[in-house]
Amino acid sequence: MKPVKVGLLGTGTVGGGTATVLKQNAEEIARRAGRGIEIDFAATLDLEQAKKVGLDHARLTTDAFEVVNDPDIEIVVELIGGYSPAKELVLAAIENGKHVVTANKALIALHGNEIFAAAQKKGVMVAFEAAVAGGIPIIKAIREGLAGNRIEWLAGIINGTGNFILTEMRDKGRDFDDVLKEAQELGYAEADPTFDVEGIDAAHKLTILASLAFGIPLQFEKAYTEGITKITAEDVAYASELGYRIKHLGVARRTVRGVEMRVHPTLIPHRRLIANVDGVMNAVLVQGDAVGPTLYYGAGAGDTPTASAVVADLVDVTRTLTADPNNRVPHLAFQPDQLSDLWVMPIEEIETAYYLRLQADDRPGVLADITRILGDLEISIEAFLQKEPREGVDKAEIILLTNRVQEAAMIKALQQIEALQSVADKVTRIRLETLG
């Protein structure tokens, strides 16, 4: 049987890794797929670089639309990234009856509903395993391996840059800005790190995971997002003293009132496996009603780890090229006409526990005022630390861990606490999840 001809859009880090893996493991891949898979046509802005990554025998062009319009190409691999022209290219490929493999989490999170509807209409597949957590097969695990479960919740460290920064802050007591600079020098963070450190990248991925887990349409605009730029070395140290570690966590949870979908810094008990995922590594913890908790760990980025997921999708698509389109695995795990309209809850409606750090006058009665405000709103204190004023500072530092409470109540409490004359500046608030 003739090899499947693939059109590659983008020959950067992941595109080059994909070419390398396909060439390096060609025999093994053909054995798994039932036929060979070869890159026949590639679009690149750097023709010489494309040749260096093993595409010297492929046709090359600088116009990506030439690839998606080529009649010989059966599968288009989109590795350009971003929203445009990626969206236009993917939709053109689908319209031409070609299957699509992509690693573009932003594209799927924002435009996936439209793309999957177009693919359903044309009877083609859109595979996107590489869009979430790099080489970790988390999408296949949720969509297929856990298909017998009602997913209750999932929580993930799904951005390696943020995890590297928080790990360095914990292990070496360094400040955020200092570690971010090193992350940029090492190539872990972009020159503009906003998507990573503000949680936007993780929110793209969480949007996809929540849709797969709960059978809801993709709704990126409803994901609550909070970054790690305000986390201090003191917060990291105090959390450790209390038995917790701070991670930039994506959480999706099904509740009786709706679905939580949120990305924010989170205290996690240090004994949890996911709390010990360090550096640039990723991990996703999934709770199913039948299987219980399962943890998926591995490299969340990089050329060959991400290429591993791209090639796995190519193998899946190749296996089903002749299959009845109505019997394929649905894009979002549930049959298209079975997606539910579960309400995605605003952040004010969610319930979680909290870490609070504040500076207050070191005199009798101050703590009583704070605990009275919390008590009036039925917020109980689970743990407490008070640090003596540092030299030259007349304020004591108070650290509190609270029980689970609705965020709206906590917002009211913080407004009242910050209005006290004895309390200086804003109260630092970090959410806490036990993940039990």
Structure tokens at 99: 């299957």
Nearest to 373 by CA among 385, 358, 362, 388: 358
Peptide bond into 85 cis (omega under 30): yes
| Angstrom distance (rounded) from CA 90 to CA 38 | 19
Total residues found in the chain within this entry: 436
259-269/224-225 β-pairing: parallel
Nearest to 143 by CA among 219, 217, 209: 209
* Count of Cβ atoms closer than 10 Å to residue 84 Cβ: 10
Beta bridge partners of 157: 283
Maximum CA pair distance of the chain? Answer: 83
CA 93 to chain centre: 26
Structure tokens at 436: 């039990």
CB 224 within 8 A of CB 261: yes
Catalytic residue among 205, 222, 387, 426: 205
| Angstrom distance (rounded) from CA 36 to CA 3 | 4
The CA angle 170-161-54, to the nearest 5 degrees, is 140
* Count of Cβ atoms closer than 10 Å to residue 63 Cβ: 9
Structure tokens at 393: 């500072």
Q: What is the dihedral of CA 201, 206, 211, 212, to 10 degrees?
A: 110
CB burial of 28-58 (b: ≥16 within 10 Å; e: otherwise) equals ebbeebeebbbbbbbbbeeeeebbebbbeeb
Per the annotation, the verdict on 230 as an active-site residue is no
Enzyme catalytic residues: 205
